[in-house]
């Protein structure tokens, strides 16, 4: 994540092309953020905005929102949506650890557990410090995280499982399978994901990707927020993504 010029992040190729199809049935996160973020909470910055699933919903609600992501292909898709809807939004290709935008926001949020792409606690705290720096005084940071307890408890090594499957109206299909390992000491998981694209019943292309995610204890992340300078921290359990069981949603102010 440190060398932006040589790293588009994980969300490229088939993943970027099919991302919206794979998450077409996910609505709880969009409903939550469009409910808790209103026009009075602008300007808004979404970190790890991807293809703009949540960002576009906020723009449709007339909430001034910018987006930041590391993947250029995902940002390109997001930009196309913004232009198609004739919205106004600034998109930035930077990482969470060292982003510098030269402006501040009333609300900054990161959804879908994307903050957990941070590979260490130290880098996560650096990202929180950058977020704090880019907030107006009294502004809010909102973030949902999850801990894969269900997968840890039921873990079977060297087992491949079927994940999301997306089918388009013309019959094209993307099938995701994966295998995960867990490092309990370092609170991380490593997943090998296989993306298979089928057209007319034939396998057209296959992508393999390794994605590492780190999880944080509830009190641990609260402490990290406090270390970065945040206050008035609230924590709520709620379902956000179907693959995340129950998420912890953090709201903190500067």
The encoded tokens of residue 186 equal 């370092």
- pLDDT number for residue 11: 86
Q: Is it the case that residue 223 has pLDDT exceeding 70?
A: yes
In angstroms, rounded to a whole number, what is the distance separating the alpha carbons of residues 127 and 148? 22
Number of Cβ atoms within 10 Å of the Cβ of 254: 21
Of the chain, the percentage scoring pLDDT greater than 70 comes to 96
* Averaged pLDDT of the chain: 94
Residue 206: pLDDT over 70: yes
3-state secondary structure of 111: coil
Label the pairing between strands 44-47 and 65-69. Answer: parallel
Within its chain, how far is the Cα of 111 from the centroid?
A: 5
Tell me if residue 47 falls in helix, strand or coil: strand
Predicted pLDDT at 8? 46
Q: Which residues pair with 144 in a beta bridge?
A: 249
Cβ-contact 205, 213 below 8 angstroms: no
- pLDDT band, very low/low/confident/very high, at 9 (cuts 50, 70, 90): low
- Full-model pTM: 0.93
């Amino acid at each position: 994540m440190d060398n932006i010029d040589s790293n588009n992040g994980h969300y490229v190729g088939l993943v970027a092309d099919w991302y919206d199809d794979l998450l077409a049935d996910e609505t709880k996160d969009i409903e939550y953020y469009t409910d808790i973020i209103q026009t009075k909470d602008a300007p808004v910055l979404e970190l790890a905005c991807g293809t703009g699933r949540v960002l576009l919903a906020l723009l449709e609600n007339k909430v001034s929102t910018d987006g930041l992501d590391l993947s250029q292909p995902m940002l390109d898709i997001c930009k196309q949506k913004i232009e198609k809807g004739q919205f106004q939004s600034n998109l930035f290709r930077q990482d969470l650890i060292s982003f510098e935008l030269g402006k501040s926001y009333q609300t900054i949020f990161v959804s879908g557990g994307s903050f957990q792409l941070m590979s260490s606690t130290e880098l996560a705290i650096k990202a929180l410090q950058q977020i704090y720096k880019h907030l107006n005084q009294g502004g809010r940071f909102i973030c949902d995280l999850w801990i894969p307890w269900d997968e840890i408890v039921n873990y079977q090594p060297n087992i491949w499982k079927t994940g999301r499957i997306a089918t388009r109206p013309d019959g094209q299909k993307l099938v995701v399978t994966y295998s995960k390992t867990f490092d309990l000491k370092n609170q991380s998981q490593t997943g090998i994901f296989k993306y298979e694209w089928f057209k007319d019943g034939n396998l057209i292309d296959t992508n393999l990707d390794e994605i590492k995610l780190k999880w944080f204890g509830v009190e641990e992340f609260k402490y990290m927020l406090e270390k970065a300078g945040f206050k008035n921290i609230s924590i709520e359990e709620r379902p956000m993504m179907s693959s995340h069981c129950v998420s912890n949603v953090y709201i903190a102010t500067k």
